[in-house]
Amino acid sequence: MAHRKPKRPKLDPSLLQDEQLILICDWGSCRQLFQNMELFLSHVADHAGQVVVVTTGEETSLTCIWEDCGFETSDQKEIIRHIYYHAYHTKIKCLGANLIEKLALQGCQLDPQTRNSVPELSGPLICYWDDCKLEFLNVQQFYWHVHTHSITNDNGEKKEKKCLWANCKSTFANKFKLRDHLRSHSQERSLACPTCGSLFASRTKLHDHCLRQLPLDANEFRCSECSKLLPTERLLREHVRYHRLVYTCSHCPIDEEGRGRSFPNTHSLGTHISYCHSESRPFPCPETDCSYSAKSQTDLSKHLEVHANTLWYCCEVSGCDFTARNPATLQKHVRKVHQGNVEPLYECHVCQVRFHASNSLKSHLGNLHKVFPLSGNGRFKYQQGQDGIFRAENGGGPLQPLNSS
């Protein structure tokens, strides 16, 4: 007898209001528990002075001992920023766990070894709202501070709210939309998966992350192009668009099939043309006596780090102009470029070409094989084989994704 599958729960905007936090410190063997973010940050600040210092010859490195981390740097500010991000990551993983419980979703099935992996924050956290220019080491305080700009001088009148971030001219109907927009400048992620640690900008992205890992027999929407099963109609639509790259670049060479390079939407096409075929640089540096202009707000933000009183380390090899913000990055450059003793560890599962960096492999898979990370994730998951080589697990284009082992 046929039966109707129960409807999946919708995302209620009130789901993350009045959240209860259970924050467990994973520094070394600490495991102290907190229910207040301010108290937790104060506790983590004490650990920031307990990094492991390793001296090898003239080189000194600082090591984070947060569980399953092992991050190393020679820059004291960088290690403090990194440790504070663990604290923030703990909070948004708790929010992610709360959402999964409230939606009664099956939890993430990926490798929990990555649950404490956090982004590298080698650059300073600087607020570029108007003339603010405040710098932070604590990422949570940085995000809280940026949020205050969305409500400053708010007199309750219904008028457009302007974004005053450096070189941004966006306007919004109200302070709530401005607040959400500011996250694109601060790179804030509001939720994380409590199992694998992946970061997400919205509840919908985390929701999709869990749905994609449902057993195949729970997925009812089949792609007519490759027969892949997906859990919702919306995810199916997002998947199908990669089969139908309808926006073609008129500037790129025509391939053997008579087509130029194609993209799934006008935004991707516009970004491609801006970077590859246009000389326009509409984002000038706001600093006086600097003639630099960038092609995007993201590139400008990276450039502004140069003006943040950051000490730069220069490669001493004759003819090389490489610079880095910390000596650990410089050492990696010397080993890779000038000593040639770093083996490429990221391998394409289609053609077996290897790369030194995961981003290079991601670009290769997308450009050559049209294999992309699953929508909402933004990055591939990699599994290390017995041979020590990392291979992508979740390609989501015309080729079938690899199976997790």
Q: For 337-357, write each residue's pLDDT tens digit.
A: 777 656 777 888 888 888 767
What ranges make up the beta strands (E) of 291-380? 293-294, 313-314, 323-324, 346-347, 354-355
Q: What is the mean pLDDT of residues 230-247?
A: 66
pLDDT band at 260; cut points 50, 70, 90: low
Least confident of 49-63, 69-83, 222-236: 222-236
Q: What is the mean pLDDT of residues 310-328?
A: 74
Which pLDDT score is estimated for 251? Answer: 79
What is the 8-class DSSP label of residue 400?
Answer: P
Residue 157 has pLDDT above 60, yes or no: no
Check: pTM over 0.75? Answer yes or no.
Answer: no
Residue 10 has pLDDT above 70, yes or no: no
Per-residue tokens: 33: 């528990």
Residue 87 has pLDDT above 70, yes or no: yes
pLDDT band at 281; cut points 50, 70, 90: confident
SS3 content of the chain, % helix, strand, coil (to 5): 30, 15, 55
Least confident of 14-18, 49-53, 270-274, 323-327: 14-18
Which pLDDT score is estimated for 264? Answer: 65
Average pLDDT, the chain: 77
Q: What is the mean pLDDT of residues 120-147?
A: 89
Q: What is the mean pLDDT of residues 43-64?
A: 81
For 8-17, b where at least 16 C-beta lie within 10 A, e where not — what string?
eeeeeeeebe
Is the Cβ–Cβ distance between 217 and 197 less than 8 Å?
no
> Could you give the CA distance from residue 34 to residue 38 in angstroms, rounded to a whole number?
9
- Regarding beta strands 313-314 and 293-294, do their DSSP bridges make them parallel or antiparallel, or are they unpaired? unpaired
**Which comes out higher in pLDDT, residue 29 or 380?**
29
